[in-house]
Structure formats: structure tokens, C-alpha cells
Structure 1
């Protein structure tokens, strides 16, 4: 669907050679449903509306919803201690760490990919090959015996390991494998029928291959750059339309009651300036009013942004099977519609 109102998106796509899918909706009306580039470059299979894309850390919000569902059921609370939930050995972890700390990236636990000291995600898989990373527990040796970064609650520090721990809590409390829990309790409820946590070595149809651009203009795929299967800190595959279905389900309380939805979307910690973090979701304010709730994800061969704008009721998802571009497209949509 291309209309005259999509000229801004078309302009950005041409400038950056964006490859991916875009879905924009406002109050039930579809404003844009566009796809560009190839899902498979070798066979020149084009990205389509039904193409599924990896979204990296964009799915931390699914983990947060899963935790909130278990809180709603009375099985845990946000003040429940990590040590009360898991039997794993964490010799140097602070016993004061709570689920709230993990959800808000304020726990201080050591990260397996620390963005303060590392900038190449692929370095992780030199000593521990990515094809061994199939379960959440497979990540524990990467951080469970490391020392704390700071006292719980002291500050915000984006942390992937904390969300691995939250996924393990979901598994322990629910009795389900994390990916199965999300697919049954979140994707199915939201009508996200095309989304899932797919393993690289058993992908279904209509999944976009992620591409990493080299300096000389050539490319390679990201099949050896990421864990073989995603989990609670990232790695689900979704369609752009399914992501907007998620925002619909969340805002209409299909996934959580009103109280828990408000808790998830509450600005719990200030990251910087007008940027805050709730539970698994970024929150942007303008003049002390919430402008948008948004999630994002970046991996080698993956860039993703999705947002819900509460005042205008605009919802968007921008999925790309290249390492950058989604942010610029989202900004262009904001300028035009938000």
C-alpha cells in the first residue's frame, strides 16, 4: 500500500537503501504498509508484508509482560528476590536483587554482553560457539560467576543478562519453556499468528535473512553472528503487522489487567533527559507528557523499532534485515504522522 502520504518514507528508503517492512496504523486505519529489499538476496526473494524479521532486544517487552502475568496470578511479586526464585549458584550476586531491579536494568548484575566495554556482539561466540546457545541456561556460564557492577537500585545500566534471569524465572514459576510460554500466553492471545522464536537451523518459511554490509560493499549473512535460537533477552521473529497487534492487545488489556498494564508502562527509572524505562519498554516524554512507548532492537543484520503514541493513538513497527535504518524510518514517520 503506497499513498501520497508515504512520500517521506519513500524518500528515506531511497537515501539509505532500507531493506525491511513497515506497518503504521492510527485508530484502526492503516496509514502505511510497505516493504523494500530482499528477504533472500541470493534468490532475490523480496520482503513482503508477511515476512518475518528478527527483532533482537525488541522483544524484552514480551519478557516483561510474561513476568507481569505471573504477578497478576499471584505467583510472584515485583519485590520477590532473585535468590528466592532460582536454585542456580551466583556466588557474587547481591542477595537484595529483586524482580523489579531486573525488569528496570537497575540490578547491577554482570552482563554477558556489556555495552560499556564491548562493541562487537560477534566476539562472544569465539570461545562459546553460537550453535550451542539454544536454552536460557546456556547463557549462565557467561556471567553467573562474575562480580556485581553496582549495588542494586543504584543506577540504570542496560543489561541483557538480567533479562536472561527473568526468562529463567518465567520457566521456573510457570513450568513452561520460556519460548513456549510467550508463544502460548502472549502471541496467541494477541493474534500474532505469524510470530515465534525460531532456530536458525530450522527456520520456517517467510523469514528474512539478516545481512551484514562490509566496507567494500559486499555482504554476508548473520547466521553465525547470533545465538542459534532467541530467548528472553531477544531474538524473536515477528511481522511488522503482528507487532502492532501486540500494542493493540496491550493497550486493550488482553494481556494484562489495567493495573498491571499501568505498572508495565510506568516510567520507573530515568535513563537520560526525557528518556525513561518502564518494564521492558522505553518511554519518551515531551514537556513532561508521555510522547511514546517504544521498543528497539539491534544485532548484526537486524534493526528494529516499534512504538505506540498514546496521545495520537499512532502505532508503528519498522523491521529491517540489515544492521541499521529502522531508526531513521521511524523518525520520518513521526515527523509525518505523530
Structure 2
């Protein structure tokens, strides 16, 4: 199938799936990209390839890279303890929690959004106004005085609190806001011109609103479902091309040295032994039976947000899919994978 026919096929698939969002795939000299659905359903403004989309936890890798930059500068190490990084009191936390534990979801810290007992992110805002959450420190009342969720160094347990803490470390070490640090040292450095940590009530042009379908088949936006501004554990906005640029820059050592990039990509924790899914500082990854990495995986889920991205190191293949609805990115990504 030539490129033109692949694009026609994917255009039809998007319509069949009723997909809302955009995709971008790159392998060698071949590029596939497209979009479908509405960035704003009420105004019938259509999604474009350069539309900015929220990517939820898909931006945890930006936090990891920010930490790696500080490690390279000698300001911290992966073995630095949390208590030595922050002047904030966590009375019930294990004093031996390190940056490594936070990066690998093995700290046992109390997760402010424990996905094992809560499956609806909107429930967090029943007792606290989401419009007050605009920086990492605003999350502190949600976990600061809670007891440990598990013992330190326990097996992998996905933990959003760990990445809030990493963001607070970035702010303390750099004396700069987390968002400003990432925007300057990652986004601007690699020409991710559409990317940023935008406030939900101050969105720039070409930004897709997240849409949520209720049980009656009607739609609402997600402005009351998420923090007013995203941060270290999720909530950045990017275009699909921005994420392709990010993968290219990261793997070509434009952000980190070769040695540090290799450390970022090392498999460290088993997530699913049967399917050979591991986790490293860079996020999820799939290994083959010989324990060689097949692909690196980024994903993000929020009400009205669905994101998937993969990088195949052997083939240098990159696929990015952003959706401004709660589902659809995974299904379209599998379709792109099958024909690229």
C-alpha cells in the first residue's frame, strides 16, 4: 500500500471509529498525518494536525527529562533523598524515599489519585475546587499528611503523587516554576512551538477542548473535570508534530547526553511479566523474549483526554495519536502501527 492509499485508509478509519483528534507517524522518509472531529463541538471548529491537545500523563516523560537535566548538572542524583531536596514536611513519609523511587513508582507514597480504588478523576473535585489547582504545591493538601500507601521499594504501583514531588524538586533546585523550566529547557530547545502548560480558563488559539459524553449521549467540556493548570504528573498541551519532534530530539541526544539518555531508557520495573511490559525513567516499554526493547510507550487518560505515543528504536518509527475525547487514541494507534 503506497502512502496515498494509507492516508485514504486512515481517513476512513477515523470516520468509522468516530475518532476526534489528530495523528502523526514517521518512519524513514514516510510521513502519515491527519485529523478528524471537532476541537470545539459547539462551534463546529474542526481538529487540525497543528491543533494543541492535552495529553494527561503522557507528559510525565517531560518531568523525567527535567530531573535528568538536573542530575547532569550535578545538582541532584537519582539516589538523592526526598527529605534532602525539599524543605516541606511529610510527617508520615518514609525518610529514605529517593528520586529513583519517585521516578519508578516504587516510593509507596500516598497517591492523591489512587487508580486502584478510584476510577473517575472527576471525583477528586467533589470536595475541593479544581480552579485552585494551578501549581505543584497546590496538590500538597491532597497527600502531604497521609500515611504511606505501601512500603518503600515495593513493586511497581502507578503513583501520580511521586511526579508532583519530582516537580516540587525541580522548582526547589532551580528556583523557577516547574512549567517555566520545562517550557524553556525542553519545549523551546527542540522547537515544540505549540507545546505548553496552559490554564484551562486561558487557553491559546488552536487548542482543542476536551469533550465528555454522558449516559444520555450528550456532550460537555472537561473544564470542571481537571486542574486549572496541569503540571509534573500530567496536563501539558502539545500538537502531534510537537511530540514527534520531542522523540527525535530525545533519541538524537539533543536534550540529554548519550549516557543519560541510555539511563532514561533502561527497563527497571516489571509492570506485566506475561506481556513483557516494563517501566523505566522514560515510562512504559515492551520487551521481546530476549529482553530487548521493542518499543517505548507513552499514554495518557483524563476525562475528555486520550493520548498514545510509541517509539520503535530499531526501526526509528514514531507514532503519536492525540484525542480530545476519553477514548479512541489506542484503537487508531494500532491501526497506524499495522500499516506503517
TM-score category of the 2 structures, normalised to the smaller one: over 0.9
Counterpart residue number, 1:285: 287
Note the C-alpha offset of 1:10: 3.3
Are residue 317 (structure 1) and residue 320 (structure 2) matched?
Answer: yes
Please report how far the alpha carbon of residue 7 of structure 1 lies from its aligned counterpart in structure 2 after TM superposition: 4.9
SS at match of 2:201: helix
Alpha-carbon distance in structure 1 between the residues aligned to 2:325 and 2:258:
36
Secondary structure of 1:331's match? helix
Which 4+ stretches in 1 moved above 3 angstroms? none
SS of match in other structure, 1:71? helix
Change in CA separation of 1:231 and 1:139 when aligned onto 2, cut-off 3 Å: same
Counterpart Cα distance in 1 of 2:81 and 2:18? 47
Provide the C-alpha distance between the structure 1 equivalents of 2:86 and 2:19, rounded to a whole number of angstroms. 43
> Are 2:11 and 2:34, in contact at CA under 8 Å, matched by a contact in 1?
no
Residue 43 of structure 1 is matched in structure 2 by 43
Q: Distance in 1 between matches of 2:315 and 2:282?
A: 22
How far residue 304 of structure 1 moved from its aligned partner, in angstroms, is 0.2
Question: What SS does the corresponding residue of 1:292 show, helix, strand or coil?
Answer: strand
- Provide the rounded CA distance (Å) in 1 between the counterparts of 2:237 and 2:8: 28
Counterpart-to-counterpart distance in 2, 1:280 and 1:292: 12
Q: Is the Cα–Cα contact under 8 Å of residues 102 and 163 in structure 2 kept in the other structure? A: yes
Please give the alpha-carbon distance, in whole angstroms, between the structure 1 residues aligned to 2:75 and 2:89. Answer: 22
**TM value normalised by structure 2:** 0.96
Match of 1:16 in 2: 17
Q: Quote the offset at 1:15 in angstroms.
A: 3.0
Q: Is the 8 A contact 1:70 1:76 kept in 2?
A: yes
Pick which of 89-98 and 283-292 moved more: 283-292
Question: How far did 1:11 drift?
Answer: 4.4
Q: Name 1:334's counterpart in structure 2.
A: 337
User: How far did residue 12 of structure 1 move?
Assistant: 3.3
Alignment root-mean-square deviation, CA: 1.1
Report the Cα offset of residue 30 of structure 1.
4.1
Q: Do 2:132 and 2:138's aligned partners in 1 also have CA atoms closer than 8 Å?
A: yes
Q: Is the 8 A contact 1:53 1:208 kept in 2?
A: yes
Are 1:8 and 1:333, in contact at CA under 8 Å, matched by a contact in 2?
no
Structure 1 unaligned runs (5+)?
A: none
Paired residue secondary structure (2:97): coil
Give yes or no for contact 1:63–1:280 (8 Å, CA) kept in 2: no
| Cα pair 1:12 1:328 within 8 Å, conserved | no
Paired residue secondary structure (1:169): helix
How is 1:96-107 mapped onto 2 (pairs within 5 angstroms)? 96-107=96-107
1:306 paired with 2:309, answer yes
Name the SS of the counterpart of 1:271 in structure 2. strand
Structure 2 CA distance for aligned equivalents of residues 102 and 9 of structure 1: 39
2:46 and 2:30 map into 1 onto residues whose CA distance is: 22
CA distance in structure 2 between the aligned counterparts of 1:257 and 1:268, rounded to whole angstroms = 20
Distance in 2 between the 1:223 and 1:293 partners?
A: 30
8 Å contact kept, 2:15–2:36: no
